Amino acid sequence: MPESTDPRSVDAAHSRPAGVDDATVAALGELSKALETVHRARGHLYSMHQLIGGADATLDRVVQLLRGAGHLGIAERVQNELIGRNVLPGRWTFQLVEEFDDGYYAAFQEIERAARDELAGGRRHIHEAEMKQSRRTAGRPGHEATP
């Protein structure tokens, strides 16, 4: 007997709970997509944090090289005006990361989770699971419904 291709026939962890309509699944799918975008933005923020830290550490070598080349004035400017400088008033990048994580990021995650809990019994990626089911070729290798 061939596998079902009914879009609502997915594994239990990702199946649509009874009474959840298409509009709700679509809204939760968009909310999940927005959260995924925020996850990516967070990664870029961490990249900035690491890149700025690496640049600041490189400035120690810059100061040595400038002093060695006899450019004491520029070396002093780099030493006194750049090394250890705040990237925003009163903040290094670790503080930006912490404020983002504890504020916007935490709130976004909590609201997305609460919406899933209230509207879909906590189930994640219902929209994507149904899309997978509708797009796969039942019975074909690599198109299995579940692992």
How many Å apart are CA 135 and CA 39, to the nearest integer? 26
Lowest mean pLDDT among 76-85, 101-110, 138-147: 138-147
> Average of pLDDT values for 84-110?
98
How many Å apart are CA 95 and CA 109, to the nearest integer? 20
Sequence-ordered alpha helix ranges (H) in the chain: 22-68, 72-77, 93-100, 106-120, 126-135
> Average of pLDDT values for 114-138?
93
Whole-model pTM? Answer: 0.83
The pLDDT of residue 51 is 98
The pLDDT of residue 1 is 39
Q: What is the mean pLDDT of the chain?
A: 93
pLDDT in tens, 21-68: 999 999 999 999 999 999 999 999 999 999 999 999 999 999 999 999
Radius of gyration of the chain (CA): 25
For residues 13 and 95, which has the higher predicted lDDT (pLDDT)?
95
| Count, residues in the chain | 147
pLDDT in tens, 2-21: 455 555 456 888 999 999 99
The pLDDT of residue 146 is 83
Lowest mean pLDDT among 69-83, 103-117, 131-145: 131-145
For residues 132 and 118, which has the higher predicted lDDT (pLDDT)?
118
